[in-house]
Amino acid sequence: MVFLTAGCLSPAAAPQDSPSTTDTVPTTTEPTTSRTVTTTVCGWSCLDDQPDPHHSVQLENNWNQRVDVHVRVIRSGTNTTVHNETYALEPGSERTAYDVAEIEPEGIETFDVAITALNTTENTEIRTTKCFGNAFARIRDDGALFASYSIC
């Protein structure tokens, strides 16, 4: 369910035959904003859902210890592993592990991303559209693994 709100922050004009009142309502000059979100049965929809192959898996270590992070990327349409590597991340380091553009995806494709570190596996995905961004895996400052992806 999506709720949209918009409105004015100033009082509405009273009808001319209404008695006047001495109460005042403060007004503001700050703009109001509204946001429209479109959803579909199969997920998020975007106005510009065009192919874009340049999406990567980004790794980041915010913990105070070195961590080995294993990244496996699977092309969903063929169930083929296209990347399967382990990366040593020093404390405070970041790096790009893999960009799906390397295998030249055709049109819009989905890639499943499995990230394993510290005996934990997190799963996320990459879709080769302009609406989707990169996949991210972060070792948080408490040593926990967190994985996600960005979307418009």
Residue 102, phi then psi, degrees to nearest 5: -60, -30
Whether residue 29 has pLDDT greater than 50: no
Cβ(54)–Cβ(99) below 8 Å: yes
Q: What is the tally of structural domains in the chain?
A: 1
Torsional sign, CA 71, 77, 80, 83: negative
What is the residue range of 67's domain?
56-151
Measured CA angle at 88 (ends 84, 92), to 5 deg: 130
Burial grade of 130 (CB within 10 A; 0-12, 13-18, 19 or more): middle
* 17 lies in some domain: no
Q: Is 43 within the bounds of a domain?
A: no
Domain annotation covers residue 90: yes
Give the pair of three-digit tokens for residue 49: 């859902």
Task: Specify if 35 maps to a domain.
Answer: no
Give residue-wise pLDDT tens across range 52-102: 999 999 999 999 999 999 999 999 999 999 999 999 999 999 999 999 999
Q: Per residue in 95-143, pLDDT tens?
A: 999 999 999 999 999 999 999 999 999 999 999 999 999 999 999 999 9
CATH number at residue 75: 2.60.40
pLDDT surpassing 50 at residue 42 = no
Q: How confident is the model at residue 48 (pLDDT cuts 50, 70, 90)?
A: low
Least confidently predicted of 30-39, 41-50, 52-61, 114-123: 30-39
Is 39 part of any domain? Answer: no
Q: Which sign, positive or negative, has the C-alpha torsion 96, 98, 103, 107? A: negative
The DSSP symbol for 44 reads E
